Chains A and B, each alone.
Chain A
Amino acid sequence: MAKVLMKGNEAVAEAAIRSGCRHYFGYPITPQTEIAEYMAKRMPKVGGLCLQAESEISAINMVMGAASAGVRAMTSSSSPGISLKCEGISYIAGCDLPCLILNVQRGGPGLGGIQPAQSDYWQATKAMGHGDLHLIVLAPSSVQEMASLANKAFDLADKYRMPAMLLADGALGQMMEPVDLDGIKAPEAVCKPWATCGHDGKRKKNITNSLYINPDDLEKTVIERFARYETVKANEIMYEEYLTEDADIVVVAYGITARICRSAVAMARAQGVKVGLFRPITLWPYPYEALGRLADTASRFIVSELNMGQMIDDVKIAINCRRPVDFCGRTGGVLLTPEEILNAILGGKK
């Protein structure tokens, strides 16, 4: 099982290809352009397509077309480009189509900056498009997870007929770590009886559509979709705990921030502080229950994010506001240091 030293952006692209994706639609934007460039080189070699669209809006609509045709399709972008995709993602969700969308987050709002951030958490988990909808949102925390969660995202998207998002950031996209790609496999050809791929005279026509003029019909469709979301919640929640069994203070963080927090937790433990780290991996569905249980034993929570405080709301919901929740964050593309988080753990409120 040889590991390959890869950049996060390239690892996710390679993993997508090994997961059976042969259709990538994208547009250049820092800090994720390497994904399009890698796909441009690699896709022709595996008989796939990398298409640089005229815009991110066009790209997401191309994904919709390919997904409706029954193939594994993906797009990638960074914060401003993801905003452009909102309408398209709403359509994809409203049509019950599977696909993978990757957001390599950068500082915002507006054109913002090009350095890593996590300020699209609300967008990804609460407002990725108009209407009642959810995406499966996975948060990798390493280059290995950029690869393995890309594979998982495709599987989940197909299983539940909904869009999936990999919520990464510029640090994960740019950094290089060893990756084991052997476990990344494409499934047997997945039969998609609902795909609009030409009925060939052999079946009734399929329609991909999100328009329901009759409000009763629309409500019924949305309620059915939400019943499917309940199944996702029941079966697919993922998280990781580090030293939480006896923790009095629990740090909650995801993505690159969780890596930094892990160092801070180790530093605090060395000083005798009973602190642990809870790392959500699925941001939707959020691990409310598992996190909530920690409020039985811990007396304080610290949420650490690269934004002005977005996931902190979900943490408060998870623990039902039973314990104080502090926030330790930086934004605009500034990365936290372990020392800043250690300071928050040791009592300096931030």
Chain B
Amino acid sequence: MSKVVFDRPHALSDVPLHYCPGCTHGIVHRLVAQTIDELGIEDKTIGIAPVGCSVFAYNYFECDMIQAAHGRAPAVATGVKRSLPDKVVFTYQGDGDLAAIGTAESVHIAARVENITIIFINNAIYGMTGGQMAPTSLLGQVTTTSPYGRDPKIQGNPIRVCEMLATLDGTAYAERVAVDTVQHVNATKKAIKKAFQMQLEGKGFSIVEVISSCPVQWGKTPVEALEWIRTDMIPHYPLGVYKDITANS
């Protein structure tokens, strides 16, 4: 007699993913789908896909999906949520989408206290377009638009999104997690579920920033890329809860 302890969640569509081998988008997609299954909300969830590698996320979740213009997912999400307040609305965005072109939308969704969840994939690079610098790329990081290493005098400093959005009164929950180890993946799942739960309880805006890997554009093997998360990304982007209005102070 045996029981299944791990299988594909229903909310994750049974189709091949287009992501590169070892890209952690796949892990996070699955965690979001598991959350949707466990909370039993697939039938009332609407997800917003960004522009970036995860543009095709509209093919990977079984709930209703919208593909939004670059950076505008939070605004599109606002349009949905304000029209259908009892539905669950989440955006899934990369670092270019959320922290470059979409910075205003990201700030204002928190300021407006939109009861929406953002899953933010931070892999410090633009994957889909071939490896350009992201707002979260590290100083010294070589990308195709910082070919001599990111220089603060020319390309500025990286942006810490969780810290920034935590300063806004409308942010109910902001946590930074990573997917470089099994333990961290499990913690990411917990954070995503908490964020969705916050939305169900009407607590306000929630964001989970997931430090993720991009093996191909980082020029590393999938395993080496996870190691780089540990050695280089996490020291600059410390994991932890940056805001939680439900926690005892």
Contacts from A to B (Cβ < 8 Å): 27-30, 33, 36-37, 40-41, 44, 49-52, 54-57, 80, 110-111
Contact = CB atoms under 8 A, between A and B. Distances in A.
B67 A54 contact: no
Contacts of A37: 130, 132, 144-145, 147
Contact of A40 (B100, B103, B129, B147): B147
Nearest to A81: B70
25 contacts: A27-B101, A28-B96, A28-B126, A28-B129, A28-B145, A30-B128, A33-B132, A37-B130, A37-B144, A37-B147, A40-B145, A40-B146, A44-B148, A50-B145, A51-B154, A52-B132, A52-B155, A54-B101, A54-B103, A55-B70, A55-B71, A55-B100, A56-B101, A80-B70, A111-B51
A52 B133 contact: yes
Contacts of A50: 145
Contacts of A57: 101
A111 B55 contact: yes
Given A37-B130, A51-B154, A51-B155, 7 more contacts: A27-B101, A28-B129, A29-B129, A40-B145, A52-B133, A111-B51, A111-B67
Interface in B49-103: 51, 55, 67, 69-71, 96, 100-101, 103
Contacts of A55: 70-71, 100-101
Given A28-B129, A54-B135, A36 B100 contact: no
A80 B155 contact: no
Given A28-B129, A28-B130, A54-B103, A40 B69 contact: no
Q: Which 9 A-B pairs have the closest CB atoms?
A: A55-B101, A28-B129, A54-B100, A37-B144, A40-B145, A28-B132, A52-B145, A33-B129, A41-B147
A51 B154 CA distance: 7
B161 to A, nearest CB: 13
B148 A36 contact: no
B140 to A, nearest CB: 15
**Quick one: which of A50, A54, A80, A111 has the most chain B CB within 10 A?**
A54
Contact of A111 (B69, B100, B103, B148): B69
Contacts of A30: 128-129
Contacts of B135: 54
Contacts, number: 54
Nearest to A58: B101
A86 to B, nearest CB: 14
Nearest to B130: A33
Contacts of B132: 28, 33, 36-37, 52
Contacts of A27: 100-101
Contacts of A49: 154
Interface string B147-178: 11000001100000000000000000000000
Nearest to B126: A28
A55 B154 CA distance: 16
B78 to A, nearest CB: 19
A217 B129 CA distance: 45
Interface in B103-135: 103, 126, 128-130, 132-133, 135
A54 B106 CA distance: 13
A51 B133 CA distance: 11
A37 to B, nearest CB: 4
A40 B144 contact: yes
A106 B182 CA distance: 41
A56 B100 CA distance: 10
B145 A36 contact: yes
A33 B126 CA distance: 11
B135 to A, nearest CB: 7
Contacts of A52: 132-133, 145, 155
Contacts of B70: 55, 80
B228 to A, nearest CB: 22
B214 to A, nearest CB: 14
A170 B103 CA distance: 29
Nearest to A52: B145
B211 to A, nearest CB: 21
A50 B151 CA distance: 12
Contacts of B128: 30
Nearest to A36: B145
Contacts of A29: 129
Contacts of B101: 27, 54-57
Contacts of A111: 51, 55, 67, 69
Contacts of B51: 111
Nearest to A110: B69
Contacts of A41: 147
A57 B67 CA distance: 20
A30 B215 CA distance: 20
A263 B148 CA distance: 44
A44 B147 CA distance: 10
